């Protein structure tokens, strides 16, 4: 019900008491259900845990049927406890009778008995089934018993709407030795001949500069290639296969066509690998929630910066601090490494008579100069992510000195190699000032030929920057 209260608070013309039963049904139907039948990974990088993270990240409600409990971490699988086949079947039946899934993923099945239970449970399923052939863990442990492989091929592959093997899994299932993308196509054709409606052979283990997934669609000789640049910093990650198949399942649950579901799953996993996290001593773990975190942080940065700009321009007398080149106000994402990850005011903050005016909206990449300043500061003190520039005046500088730690740099001493590189001065100057006083919250320079003297005020967030400027205005 919270979502409706939020909607009502943002839309006063549609109060909560007007959300009748049909309205609630409409909102309920927006949430699709996806079912994952797979093993549990105690390290939470793969298996059921990874699937649920992916389902949630992509806006579907995740249900589970656990086939095995594994004691594993980023280095190895220590133990496997098989769930009784009857319990696996009961889990699937419980979901199918009450929360009918819009798509189903099958991951680790482990044994002949469990394969039999899954086959029986899904025999009459109408939802698309994504089969991820979990034969072994990334750390090497077998996750499908040798005596179950034939049953896996004969029972589960014909049930599948989409089979998602990596190179090694495709080789094992098809009998085709894969050394090129052409071999991958041949393996996909063999798997389709075994009964799979659609096959995608993932290209993460081909060892090239690019990663190409090979998709062979039902009743078509057309081969679709989905290519991304390889994430060179990460040779292998834990959970990427589970994330891909779960993402494809989620997109199918949301009603997307299969080819589009595979394309979007590819993009999703590429981002998850690019933002993999090191949480243990073994393989890095793909991060299926990185996109949500990024979007949330970008929204938060923009909202906090806009609120601070509103406060700043409303301060009595602030217009007196606006320099000839105008003021800008920047706020970086927590892990920002480029100008595009720093938000600022497009067109800056200008003086208009006895007032300061925000010229345009706040957005990412709007100020290269202020972004350079805050990125340089963050390279030394990462928690300080906001900065604003104001004019240099002896009285203003004296007020800052009385309240905060201050440092400076001399632009005339800037090395020639730095000066020749466009946009490098502010970064060099900020670091030079911090080398003199690592605690400096305010940094200034007295200008150079054609360059206006300036004060830059830093803070952990935009509100802190505004607070510092406000304190100075009280005594100036």
- Taking only the tens place, the pLDDT of each residue in 102-113 is 999 999 999 999
- Would you give the DSSP letter of residue 158? G
Q: Which residue has the higher pLDDT, 210 or 285?
A: 285
pLDDT at 459 over 80: yes
Whole-Å CA distances, 228 to 31, 118, 213, 252, 268:
30, 34, 9, 21, 11
> DSSP letter at 156?
I
Torsion region of 147: left, alpha or beta (phi above 0 gives left; psi -120 to 50 gives alpha): alpha
Using the predicted structure, report yes or no on whether residue 282 has a pLDDT greater than 80: yes
What pLDDT is stored for residue 27 in this prediction?
A: 41
Three-state SS for 410?
coil
Does pTM surpass 0.75? yes
Q: What span, in angstroms and rounded, lies between the C-alpha atoms of 1 and 248?
A: 29
pLDDT of residue 96: 96
Beta bridge partners of 103: 34
- pLDDT of res. 291: 81
Report residue 368 as tokens: 């290269």
Residue 312 has pLDDT above 70, yes or no: yes
Distance in Å from the first CA to the final CA of the chain:
51
pLDDT of residue 290: 86
Give the model confidence (pLDDT) of 368-378 as tens digits: 999 999 999 99
| pLDDT bracket for residue 14 (50, 70, 90) | very low
Q: Where in the chain is the domain with CATH 3.40.1190.20?
A: 31-287
Q: Between residues 290 and 441, which one has the greater pLDDT?
A: 441
Which residues does 117 contact at the CB level (< 8 Å), separation at least 6?
Answer: 85, 86, 88, 89, 92
What pairing do the DSSP bridges indicate for beta strands 223-229 and 129-131?
Answer: unpaired
pLDDT category of residue 208 using cuts at 50, 70 and 90: low
Mean pLDDT, the chain, whole residue set: 90
Chain region(s) in the chain for CATH 3.40.225.10:
294-475
Q: Is the pLDDT of residue 13 over 50?
A: no
42-54 tens-digit pLDDT: 999 999 999 999 9
The pLDDT assigned to 242 comes to 96
Q: Considering only CA atoms, which of 185, 131, 187, 137 is closest in space to residue 154?
A: 131
Q: How many CA atoms lie within 13 A of 264 on its CB side?
A: 19
For 244, 351, 374, 410, the CA distances from 445, given in Å and listed in that order, are 51, 21, 16, 6
For the stretch 134-173, pLDDT in tens is: 999 877 789 999 999 999 999 999 999 999 999 999 999 9
More confident residue, 7 or 353: 353
> Which residue in this structure is represented by tokens 């000195």?
401
List the one residue out of 405, 394, 326 whose CA is nearest residue 366. 326
- pLDDT at residue 204 in the model: 58
- Token match 């007398």: residue? 317
* Residue 425: strand pairing partners: none
Query: Which helix or strand (DSSP H or E) is residue 163 part of?
Result: strand 162-163
pLDDT over 70 percentage in the chain: 91
Q: How confident is the model at residue 258 (pLDDT cuts 50, 70, 90)?
A: very high
Question: Can you tell me the distance from the alpha carbon of 39 to that of 110, in angstroms, rounded to the nearest whole number?
Answer: 9
Specify whether the CB–CB gap between 327 and 348 falls below 8 A: yes
Residue 238, beta-bridge partner list: 285
For residue 465, is pLDDT > 60?
yes
Secondary structure of residue 229 in the 3-state scheme: strand
Instruction: Please tell me the distance from the alpha carbon of residue 470 to that of residue 274, in angstroms, as a whole number.
Output: 41
Task: Say yes or no to pLDDT of 197 above 50.
Answer: yes
Q: 């320079």: which residue's tokens?
A: 445
Q: How confident is the model at residue 7 (pLDDT cuts 50, 70, 90)?
A: very low
**Alpha-carbon dihedral sign for residues 220, 222, 228, 229:** positive
Proportion of the chain above pLDDT 90, given as a percent: 77
- The CATH architecture assigned to 31-287 reads 3-Layer(aba) Sandwich (3.40)
| 405-430: pLDDT as tens digits | 999 999 888 787 766 665 588 999 99
Residue 227 banded pLDDT, cuts 50, 70, 90: confident
Specify burial of residue 295 (Cβ count, 10 A radius: 0-12, 13-18, 19+): exposed
Domain 294-475 CATH superfamily: Class II aldolase/adducin N-terminal domain (3.40.225.10)
Q: Both tokens of residue 329? A: 């106000």
Predicted pLDDT of residue 181: 83
Residue 29 has pLDDT above 60, yes or no: no
Q: How many CB atoms lie within 10 A of CB 299?
A: 10
For range 297-307, the mean pLDDT: 97
**What is the model's pLDDT at position 165?**
97
Which of these, 250, 252, 136, lies nearest to 198 by C-alpha position? 252
Average pLDDT rounded to a whole number, residues 50-70 = 97
- Please state the rounded mean pLDDT for residues 312-317: 97
Residue 5 has what pLDDT?
Answer: 34
What Cα–Cα distance (Å) separates residue 325 from each residue in 26, 79, 250, 414, 442?
53, 66, 50, 21, 19
pLDDT of 24 strictly over 50: no
CA distances (Å), 96 to each of 101, 121, 154, 387, in order?
A: 7, 9, 23, 54
pLDDT on residue 6: 36
Tokens representing residue 112 in the block: 């002949």
Outline where DSSP puts E strands in 168-234.
Answer: 199-201, 210-216, 223-229
Q: How far apart are CA 367 and CA 154, in angstroms?
A: 60
Provide the pLDDT for residue 219: 73
Contacts of 23 (CB under 8 A, 6+ apart): none
Lookup: tokens for 444: 């200034």
Query: Under 8 Å CB-to-CB from 90, ≥6 apart: which residues?
Result: none
């Amino acid at each position: 019900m919270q979502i409706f209260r939020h909607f009502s608070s943002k839309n006063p013309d549609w109060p909560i008491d007007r959300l009748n039963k049909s309205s609630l049904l409409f909102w309920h139907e927006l949430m699709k259900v996806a079912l994952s039948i797979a093993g549990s990974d105690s390290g939470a990088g793969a298996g059921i845990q990874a699937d649920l993270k992916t389902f949630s990240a992509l806006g579907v409600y995740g249900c589970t049927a656990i086939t095995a409990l594994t004691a594993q971490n980023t280095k190895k699988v220590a133990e496997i406890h098989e769930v009784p086949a009857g319990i696996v079947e009961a889990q699937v039946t419980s979901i199918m009778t009450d929360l009918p899934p819009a798509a189903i993923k099958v991951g680790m099945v482990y044994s002949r008995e469990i394969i039999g239970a899954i086959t029986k449970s899904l025999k009459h399923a109408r939802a698309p089934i994504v089969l991820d052939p979990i034969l072994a863990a990334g750390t090497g442990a077998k996750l499908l018993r040798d005596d179950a492989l034939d049953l896996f091929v004969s029972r589960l592959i014909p049930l599948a709407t989409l089979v998602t093997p990596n190179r090694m899994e495709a080789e094992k299932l098809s009998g085709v030795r894969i050394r090129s993308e052409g071999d991958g196509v041949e393996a996909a054709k063999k798997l389709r001949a075994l009964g799979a409606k659609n096959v995608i052979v993932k290209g993460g283990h081909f060892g090239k500069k690019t990663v190409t997934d090979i998709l062979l669609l039902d009743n078509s000789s057309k081969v679709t290639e989905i290519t991304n640049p390889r994430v060179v910093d990460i040779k292998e990650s834990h959970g990427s296969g589970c994330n891909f198949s779960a993402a494809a399942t989620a997109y199918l649950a949301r009603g997307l066509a299969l080819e589009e579901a595979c394309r979007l799953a590819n993009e999703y996993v590429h981002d998850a690998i690019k933002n993999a996290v090191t949480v243990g001593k073994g393989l890095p773990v793909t991060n299926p929630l990185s996109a949500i975190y990024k979007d949330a942080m970008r929204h938060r940065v923009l909202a906090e910066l806009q609120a601070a700009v509103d406060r700043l321009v409303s301060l009595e007398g602030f217009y007196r601090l606006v320099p000839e080149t105008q003021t800008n106000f920047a706020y970086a994402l927590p892990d920002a490494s480029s100008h595009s990850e720093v938000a600022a005011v497009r067109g800056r903050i200008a003086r208009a008579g006895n007032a300061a005016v925000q010229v345009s909206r706040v957005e990412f990449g709007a100020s290269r100069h202020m972004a350079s300043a805050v990125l340089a500061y963050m390279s030394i003190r990462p928690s300080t992510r906001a900065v604003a520039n104001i004019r240099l005046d002896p009285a203003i500088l004296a007020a800052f000195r009385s309240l905060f730690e201050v440092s400076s740099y001399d632009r005339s001493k800037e090395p020639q190699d730095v000066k020749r590189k466009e946009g490098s001065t502010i970064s060099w100057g900020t670091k030079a000032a911090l080398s003199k006083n690592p605690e400096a919250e305010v940094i200034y320079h007295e200008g150079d030929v054609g360059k206006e003297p300036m004060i830059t005020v830093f803070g952990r967030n935009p509100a802190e920057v505004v607070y510092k400027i406000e304190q100075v205005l009280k005594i100036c």
